Amino acid sequence: MSDAPLGRLRERLGEIADLRAAADLLHWDQEVNMPPKAAAGRGRQLATVAALAHRMFTDAEMGEFLKELQDGAHALAPDDAALVNVTAYDYVRATKLPETFVHTFAEETSKAYEAWVKAREISSFPAFQPHLETLLELLKKKADLLGYEGSPYNALLDEYERGMRIEQLEAIFAELAPKQAALVERLVNATHPPDTTWTRRDWPESRQWDLTVRILSDMGYDFEAGRQDKSVHPFTTSFGLHDVRVTTRFDAKDPFSAVSSSMHEGGHALYDQGFQEQDARTPLAEGASVGIHESQSRMWENMIGRSLPFWKHYRPLLNEFFPDVPPHVSAEDVYRTVNCVKPSLIRVEADECTYNLHVIMRFEIELALIEERMVVAEIPEVWSAKMKEYLGIAVPNDAQGCLQDIHWSLGSMGYFPSYALGNLYAAQIFERILEDIPDLWGRIESGRFYPLLHWLREHVHRHGRRKLATEMIRDITGAEPMCAPYLRYLETKYGELYGV
Ligand code: ZN
């Protein structure tokens, strides 16, 4: 037989990719352009398109194509075998959940999301608690339906970080958390915190916009195959290799907030613009895992965008955009300003020294919930205790505490670890990059980002989903995922900055 089933599989996957792109475009419009009264209608449109895509993907015929391709009768080229492999994995996961379960889950999450929005407004966890209890039961059911070895959390983790196991994760975080907390304590007690008084001036939004566009272009983001817009919560979305869009946000008192938002999303977007043309409209044109995707955004945002060579390049340019920045402000001053360490209540505003601690405490809580070692009612109390232990600060209310993140209200547990893994993967990959491009910092200082982008394209981007995150890390570094490189990075950078 010819490659007919492969052709049919590709055709079907292409149609599903088109539907998903349409849904993503509806979602992008919702966040960027949509008038407020359109919300309910848009919700229905999104649900319809998503259901259609899901139905097409879980169709019995899809199972037959895959079975035929996997039975060994067809000699598949490596790229085709990878496609069949990845698709079969998604197919098995998607078909393990009965339609009634998917429907109930969608209904309960939409109620929970509404309840969470209100509960956060009045800062009352009890108003959200019954919904989270329902979702937790559904999540445990989901883990049972999907199947797992060891902890049921493994089944949920697989959705975001396929191949990562809870035992490995716990071992990494057990080493990372106390060391990072100790570093934060040393920095907080340091006698030379950065002086940021020079930033107290007006930073016109239109100039901030121009600066972010300039930086994105310099990074290699292709504005002919994407665009930047403004949204409350910055995000990246892709409708295909040639349409990858980012959003950013502005703070009138702080231009560096927009710079880091744009660079973060730009890192995600460069990944999505770097998949191979031949993988377009297939599941291979996706990131290896959420953690690997996050490694790309965090590397550009923090390791590059908060480095001294980067600001040596952009310091003179700052005056092009903001003529009244005083000449005595040096690149070093900017570098110190963008690297202030201050334990704070809100994860998304956290600096790179404290960020992982926010993530690890959420992971510990959701793991204990899934493994039935604690109940939902205990969350506020446990949250406060962990904030005290890891960051040394008191939580004044639920809104700034356990109600701040959207994830649980969307029925998402197992996602948080990917944020911390992203930082760790970035540091591991970056050590290798510095070996391969010894003069990297010299190039960054002269504004040449291409060697870095070229390296990432070669070793990370072009593989799409051909490798699992752990395989990719192993291939690049020869080691397992670990925290030592990230700790080395933080200790060196902040030890020097803060003189501790
Ligand atoms: Zn991100």
pLDDT tens string, the chain, 500 residues long: the values are: 445 889 999 999 999 999 999 999 999 999 899 998 998 898 889 888 988 999 999 999 999 999 999 987 678 999 999 999 999 999 999 999 988 898 899 889 888 988 999 999 999 999 999 999 999 999 999 999 999 999 999 999 999 999 999 999 999 999 999 999 999 999 988 877 778 899 999 999 999 999 999 999 999 999 999 999 999 889 999 999 999 999 999 999 999 999 999 999 999 999 999 999 999 999 999 999 999 999 999 999 999 999 999 999 999 999 999 999 999 999 999 999 999 999 999 999 899 999 999 999 999 999 999 999 999 999 999 999 999 999 999 999 999 999 999 999 999 999 999 999 999 999 999 999 999 999 999 999 999 999 999 999 999 999 999 999 999 999 999 999 999 999 999 999 999 999 88
Q: Is 265 a catalytic residue?
A: yes
Which three-class secondary structure string do you get for 429-497? HHHHHHHHCCCHHHHHHCCCCHHHHHHHHHHCHHHCCCCCHHHHHHHHHCCCCCCHHHHHHHHHHHHHH
- Measure the CA–CA gap between 287 and 138, rounded to whole angstroms: 27
Closest C-alpha among 225, 244, 223, 247 to residue 234: 247
Tell me, in angstroms, the distance from the centre of ligand 1 to residue 347's CA: 13
User: Ligand 1 mean position to 208 CA, how many Å?
Assistant: 21
Helices 379-391, 166-188: axis angle to 10 degrees equals 50
pTM over 0.85: yes
> In the CATH hierarchy, which top-level class contains the domain 166-498?
mainly alpha
Q: Which segments of 39-98 does DSSP mark as H helices, in order?
A: 39-58, 60-70, 78-96
Cα 286 to ligand 1 centre (Å): 14
All structural domains of the chain with their residue ranges: 4-131, 166-498
419 CA distance to ligand 1 middle (Å) = 8
Beta carbons within 10 angstroms of residue 117's beta carbon: 13
Range 61-70, long-range pairs (CB < 8 A, 24+ positions): 61/12, 62/9, 62/12, 62/91, 63/91, 63/95, 65/5, 65/8, 65/9, 65/12, 66/9, 66/91, 68/5, 69/5, 69/6, 69/9
Q: Which residues pair with 228 in a beta bridge?
A: 246
**Cα 265 to ligand 1 centre (Å):** 6
Q: Which of 161, 265, 352, 364 is catalytic?
A: 265
3-state DSSP helix/strand/coil percent for the chain, to nearest 5?
65, 0, 30
